[in-house]
Amino acid sequence: MEGRKLVVANWKSNGRKLLIDNLNRAVCTDCDSINDLVLCPPAALLAYAVSAFADYAARQPFIRIGAQDCAAYETNCTGDIPCSVLAEIGVSYVIIGHSERRRIYCESNELIAAKVRAALQQRQIPIVCVGESLQEREAGRAFEVIKDQLAPLAFAFQPSQTTPAALIAYEPVWAIGAQQTPQYEEISEIHSFIHELTWAKVLYGGGVTIYNCNDILRANNISGVLVGRSSLAPDFYKMLTGS
């Protein structure tokens, strides 16, 4: 897959207004971009980030703001952020089904599918995370696990749609927050598998750094990267420039 790639920055619970300002300054002054950015700060900073990067609605790099999660339903539920509220403040992407939420909050494939539906109803682009644990990988079950995770999402990938409604992020759980990534050929193989099942664009996440990012983005069938820790570093913006 050629052309501009998407870099998704998942700041998790980190980042402050200052980090948003610093990233904005770096992108403005130093960024001859070849890739685009979806910045996903903590929920409390979403509105600030939308307004900080408002200028990029009409120029490159394409920069949009994403949430790290959303409510599955529009009904009252204390603490949940409905997609309609995210849409109202200008959030256009939502990470859904990150392995930390699957593990810590026991989010099921079905709940994740409900969140994807909720986001699509508000014309947001879901970035759905899938991936196997180390145990599942060692048992030779990676493909099966990913297929199961994708099964309730068929509605998001109808052949009648002109473009797939959602993005998929392949994030092997054992590579998240670790110093290792799969071999690039292994990533390409799993991305091809996901692409055949969904025809969605597939991003890779887990252990992406400023040092391996370009090589990963050059591998086959990789439409972008989802970056955790390294997206907090001062030189993160270089992932947009390919330098």
Binding site for ligand PEP (CB under 6 A): 10, 98, 171, 176-177, 205-208, 226-230
CB of 204 to ligand PEP, least distance (A): 9
Select 82 or 207, whichever has its Cβ closest to ligand PEP.
Answer: 207
In the set 98, 100, 132, 191, the catalytic residue is 98
Q: DSSP letters along 152-211, please?
A: GGGGGG-TTSSS-S-EEEE--GGGTTSS----HHHHHHHHHHHHHHH---EEEESS--TT
Select 88 or 177, whichever has its Cβ closest to ligand PEP.
Answer: 177
Alpha helices, DSSP H, located in 53-141? 83-88, 99-104, 109-121, 134-138
Select 46 or 208, whichever has its Cβ closest to ligand PEP.
Answer: 208
Amino acid symbol at 107: E
CB of 227 to ligand PEP, least distance (A): 5
Select 82 or 128, whichever has its Cβ closest to ligand PEP.
Answer: 128
Confirm whether 195 is a catalytic residue: no
Confirm whether 88 is a catalytic residue: no
In the set 100, 132, 171, 191, the catalytic residue is 171
What is the rounded CA–CA span in Å between residue 147 and residue 215? 26
With tokens 């992406």, the residue in question is: 208
Q: What separation in angstroms does the CA of 142 have from each of 46, 193, 203?
A: 34, 11, 17
Task: Provide the annotated active-site residues.
Answer: 98, 171
